[in-house]
Amino acid sequence: MLTLALVACPGRRITKANVDEVAEGMSKKQVESILGTPTEIDNKDFVIMKKTTYVYRQSKDTVTIVFKDDKVTEKQSTLSD
């Protein structure tokens, strides 16, 4: 049900420009204010750190944002200009 709710909610359109606004060190709240609610969230708790991955899917494109200890450490995107 939750997945259907996320898909059914009108979300923001993900563009290369707003993905480019996401910078290393940003918090989850900052990223969500730019990109909206992620399509998928994967949480992993390790002894020495916490890793969360946000995935945004839009048509054939995917944007992946990785957080370590709740700060952006990397991002990947299949969006083109």
Domain at 52, CATH number: 3.30.1450.10
- Name the residue type at position 77: S
What does the angle CA 38 – CA 42 – CA 29 come to, to the nearest 5 degrees?
45
Full-model pTM = 0.81
d(CA 35, CA 61): 14
Count of domains for the chain: 1
Domain range for residue 14? 2-77
Map residue 42 onto helix, strand or coil. strand
pLDDT at 67: 97
Predicted pLDDT of residue 5:
37
**pLDDT tens digits along 9-66:** 445 688 999 999 999 999 999 999 999 999 999 999 888 889 999 999 998 999 999 9
37: DSSP letter: S
